[in-house]
Structure 1
């Protein structure tokens, strides 16, 4: 290992106190490598050992943890076991520390609320009782058209108690996107609010839901939370107020005993074409995998505090809520925009609430660096001991800035790659030495690897597909009512392997690096390159704050590189600057990859989870169909870009 390239080393104290150290010792193994090896050679042993270490509460212990008789694409989990995820997510900490904060919420205007685990249990119980009186039963689908609130967490836990299936819907969706998902899932009840607050403005949500439900005869009830005090149209008897449903009562139904593989969540993920795909997750799958991710990978401990801007309509909402609860930690929620009313809102919240785990993504980090970089000194960020990160590949300059300026050089960036369909993490960092932008490798129990199109592991320095070779308990049990699409989407590209859709590589020291989505790859004059390599050169110039590189058809080279960038403050954003940036790419990567154009815009199209939508940039530049736009948070960015075409 080349020590000069290592940007962070764990101290002896960090290693000694790490959760992974405790787990390895409990398993009687010498080190983490031995744990990963045994997880691959004896998967049933691994998942049973993990369940014991996590304290996952089965009502009936499974006869077997894993049966692969039907192949790796159709594993059977926790056979004969019964459980209710509520018992572990809330019940475990409720028994030990009922007065510990489960959630701290803060609005854009600075108003705060805090619920203990006892408060959360009470609120979830009352809502569960009310939903049961409305006729909800195990297996019924409940739509969540809610922003991130303490009540959102209570509602999620109430559905787990009853055995209902939670259907998260992005709080920024329009009527068509909501209508499509409610119809595809056959939801019978929807939980919503009068409105939410974003960038200083009240945004009504109930009218959007009313529009979405025109012609939908299956939804029997809408339960409406009076959050902002907005005038709210109510249609009796379908519409009922939250406070009238969740009335205090002593007749609270206990968490229902369910088959461990009972469906807990259907999460729709958008594709570039076609209908959204509904990933199916179960009580034992969510509890075991998110417990592993939060505690083993992100090293969250009882009493820690997690702040990670997200929405319950994305899987990040599920990860933050369940991950914090399964660790016995506290979730800090910032409703509204992460940079409003001041660009340093997030650093202020970190300092105010003594956040230990600050979750981010490269795009969000670049925004903070640009808009709040000079404001960090105002805030005491010493409580941070880890910085989880996901969503995109990092550029080196931003990674180093976050490590030094946000983490103070002491807090590692726990970089990971995962997704909605496999319940978070395939490859990640753990509390091991780190190179800039790197991963330490595959998470135990996934069989994560980097392979060529034939399925062979690539050599150091080569770029390949990130895959899973093994059945993982967190992987979706299929797509909701669409088995053929499940196989086609994930298991046919390289037979026998789950293809994640991300490009990655490993170096000679064993560090892994992400290179972006495989469908974003460009092939220029016969040479393949990922967008991240080009974007990193642009960002390293210091003259742009965001960049997206895409390939467009070219009659000579087959594909030409076009870059779209946001000029840094004080930069002209003109043709001369674009030419200098194109020259820098050619000097760094070769003349073949010199961008044919560099266009400047005010913002790049992004999802609410702060991922740059490169395929939408490409479609706009080439005049192609835009595909599914339900996850787009800033449509004005597309209109701005279209003016350049």
Structure 2
């Protein structure tokens, strides 16, 4: 990578200081950076004390065999006890743990910590009846309903590692995950709701198990009745949740497990190759999730109502919807459906009704709301919000500002967080009571994390230049290995530079030393010898008042090596943008970044190809730009999007 040209040409001058009252009462202050720098392991030891340990650790970190870390060595605890039981024992049983809202408008319930504990105990007893023991793996393939959280915690209570597979994944994807971890039980539902229509899940489980045949270790499928639709049901292997779980005792004595006992396996992969089973263990992971949830979101557990919009099929849902919030005794919101069902103001309606104070969501959702228009959130009272968060990919500066001004009323700090499935918890983020935030910048590593931007030799780059984003020192919530494949773990994350974690993201440091994540190194383009970041060109396009969202790819070009090709969604208020919109946008990019970044081709589209987690699949857009047959679309939320884009590309404007 040419680090000088990756440093790039865009500039962002806007700054947002924390409100004075917010800063005065912040959970984390600038002192935390000093404490963590002075004694990093002592700092993490202090964070681990947020948890209740049955046996205290003998040693904070064993890094004698890198990259295989052991944190809080000798410590023993139970994840479910930390999430629910201890709060009930301390007198907080009547506090609401979750406000759950189903997609059908009249479908909702609030669940207290006492009620959650009882349901988790019942589910744990039911799993014991089905033969589950500590160490057995359980696959969970569910919609966003309370039983999904209950199932996760019941597994954790028994020391049975869970693997949650997103409910939108195909039977083939589910089968590969069940086989890789040799799951003994699958927990699923008859279906869930999506845009008001029941969507079946159980048939995909049956298809997955049929594909595996004798390679499956699954003994039983535990099925929640959610939609009531007719599904295949095998009386030998299939068991109804409401029949087995509801009849169980609400008493269950949990045992403690070693700090390094596996808590869950989370699979991440592209569209080719075997899925990677990211293994997270108990003590270190829970420490990281609880600390970052408390510190980065400035959580005030007694008064905040917190909403992380992620599905539990993704790591964000694990760390910041289930484990982090519950350990911190938070009242959270869980919503089953999509943002535009039954109407485009559903999220704002929920925030107003439940008095949500902290909202954590993805840039792709924010840009979608921008596209729909300011008048929709303006119909609702969002004054309860005091902090906003962004996760999943770099946020464009204009989307950041829109989020802060339109949703946050111009008063709320925004935490633009960078982390990964592998890291388990937030690594780089502004501290909302400390940072003078810059739209589009993740700012700096949080206290306790040692992140850096390095060149090809692994040396820190100077301020104002770019390179590779790495983590130099081990951290508690780090992945321990890839399930069943230590060698792949080492080669994938630790082979580029000795002792440094690198998972593929490029970044730059600005003149102040603050970090700007530029996305995957694979998405950096080489245009006439200049290395350009797709993220920065996308941000330049989104800064145009008519643009809601953009995706940029590099396509082969005989003259320049690669050329910039852009796919743009216009805001609804902009209509079709007018006949000159393509040239207008090309000139806008040239003014904002430079002529070298001017797109060769811009295609106005209605939608972009996104996975079910909301990430744009630029590989498919590259296929269209280079006139190739479009590759595998099985992981897209809507595979028909590519048909529309491919047709439109044949008539796109080109210069």
TM-score by length of 2: 0.92
Q: Distance in 1 between matches of 2:94 and 2:634?
A: 39
* Pairwise CA distance, 1:460: 1.8
Pairing partner for 2:532 from 529, 545, 553? 529
User: Is the counterpart of residue 70 in structure 1 residue 70 in structure 2?
Assistant: no
Taking structure 1 as reference, are residues 163 and 483 closer, same or farther at Cα in structure 2, changes over 3 Å only?
same
Q: Distance in 2 between matches of 1:469 and 1:379?
A: 45
* Pairwise CA distance, 1:545: 1.6
Q: In structure 1, what is the equivalent of residue 125 of structure 2? A: 129
Pairing partner for 1:490 from 473, 477, 493? 493
Q: Distance in 2 between matches of 1:350 and 1:406?
A: 11
Residues 332-351 of structure 1 mapped to structure 2, 5 A cutoff = 332-351=333-352
Q: Distance in 2 between matches of 1:636 and 1:36?
A: 49
Q: In structure 2, what is the equivalent of residue 313 of structure 1? A: 313
Q: Distance in 2 between matches of 1:7 and 1:17?
A: 21
TM-score by length of 1: 0.93
Q: Distance in 1 between matches of 2:274 and 2:599?
A: 33
Q: In structure 2, what is the equivalent of residue 517 of structure 1? A: 520
Q: Distance in 1 between matches of 2:454 and 2:363?
A: 25
Taking structure 1 as reference, are residues 242 and 625 closer, same or farther at Cα in structure 2, changes over 3 Å only?
farther
Secondary structure of 1:192's counterpart equals strand
* Pairwise CA distance, 1:194: 0.7
Q: In structure 1, what is the equivalent of residue 25 of structure 2? A: 17
Q: Do 1:271 and 1:277's aligned partners in 2 also have CA atoms closer than 8 Å? A: no
Pairing partner for 1:102 from 97, 102, 108? 97
* Pairwise CA distance, 1:65: 1.3
Taking structure 1 as reference, are residues 604 and 257 closer, same or farther at Cα in structure 2, changes over 3 Å only?
same
Q: Do 1:504 and 1:514's aligned partners in 2 also have CA atoms closer than 8 Å? A: yes
Taking structure 1 as reference, are residues 440 and 193 closer, same or farther at Cα in structure 2, changes over 3 Å only?
same
Taking structure 1 as reference, are residues 251 and 126 closer, same or farther at Cα in structure 2, changes over 3 Å only?
closer
* Pairwise CA distance, 1:574: 7.5
Q: Do 2:76 and 2:256's aligned partners in 1 also have CA atoms closer than 8 Å? A: yes
User: Is the counterpart of residue 595 in structure 1 residue 599 in structure 2?
Assistant: yes
Q: In structure 1, what is the equivalent of residue 301 of structure 2? A: 302
Q: Distance in 2 between matches of 1:429 and 1:624?
A: 41
The aligned length equals 628
Q: Distance in 2 between matches of 1:623 and 1:94?
A: 60
Q: In structure 2, what is the equivalent of residue 34 of structure 1? A: 34
1:28-55 C-alpha deviation (Å, 9 max, x unpaired): xx813312312xxx43322211112x2x
Q: Distance in 1 between matches of 2:376 and 2:257?
A: 50
Secondary structure of 1:103's counterpart equals strand
Taking structure 1 as reference, are residues 249 and 242 closer, same or farther at Cα in structure 2, changes over 3 Å only?
closer
Q: Do 2:523 and 2:533's aligned partners in 1 also have CA atoms closer than 8 Å? A: yes
Pairing partner for 2:189 from 175, 193, 196? 193
* Pairwise CA distance, 1:627: 6.8
- Which stretch shows the higher mean deviation, 508-517 or 384-393? 508-517
Q: In structure 1, what is the equivalent of residue 200 of structure 2? A: 204
Taking structure 1 as reference, are residues 271 and 314 closer, same or farther at Cα in structure 2, changes over 3 Å only?
same
Q: Distance in 2 between matches of 1:85 and 1:512?
A: 33
Taking structure 1 as reference, are residues 300 and 63 closer, same or farther at Cα in structure 2, changes over 3 Å only?
same
Pairing partner for 2:42 from 34, 38, 45? 45
- Which stretch shows the higher mean deviation, 214-223 or 61-70? 214-223
Q: Do 1:445 and 1:471's aligned partners in 2 also have CA atoms closer than 8 Å? A: no
Unaligned stretches of 5+ in structure 1? Answer: 22-29
Taking structure 1 as reference, are residues 395 and 371 closer, same or farther at Cα in structure 2, changes over 3 Å only?
same
* Pairwise CA distance, 1:497: 0.9
Taking structure 1 as reference, are residues 195 and 340 closer, same or farther at Cα in structure 2, changes over 3 Å only?
same
Q: Distance in 2 between matches of 1:421 and 1:630?
A: 23
Q: Do 2:469 and 2:502's aligned partners in 1 also have CA atoms closer than 8 Å? A: yes
Q: In structure 2, what is the equivalent of residue 553 of structure 1? A: 556
* Pairwise CA distance, 1:590: 2.7
Q: In structure 2, what is the equivalent of residue 27 of structure 1? A: none
Q: Distance in 2 between matches of 1:568 and 1:356?
A: 27
Pairing partner for 1:444 from 440, 444, 447? 447
Taking structure 1 as reference, are residues 277 and 630 closer, same or farther at Cα in structure 2, changes over 3 Å only?
farther
Q: In structure 2, what is the equivalent of residue 615 of structure 1? A: 619
Secondary structure of 1:420's counterpart equals coil
* Pairwise CA distance, 1:251: 7.1
Secondary structure of 1:114's counterpart equals strand
* Pairwise CA distance, 1:240: 0.4
Q: Distance in 1 between matches of 2:397 and 2:333?
A: 28
Q: In structure 1, what is the equivalent of residue 278 of structure 2? A: 279
Secondary structure of 1:428's counterpart equals coil
Q: In structure 2, what is the equivalent of residue 376 of structure 1? A: 377
Q: In structure 1, what is the equivalent of residue 422 of structure 2? A: 421
Residues 74-153 of structure 1 mapped to structure 2, 5 A cutoff = 74-96=68-90, 97-110=92-105, 111-153=107-149
1:193-215 C-alpha deviation (Å, 9 max, x unpaired): 11111112110111111111104
Q: Do 1:321 and 1:331's aligned partners in 2 also have CA atoms closer than 8 Å? A: no
Q: Do 2:95 and 2:112's aligned partners in 1 also have CA atoms closer than 8 Å? A: yes
Unaligned stretches of 5+ in structure 2? Answer: 1-11, 651-655
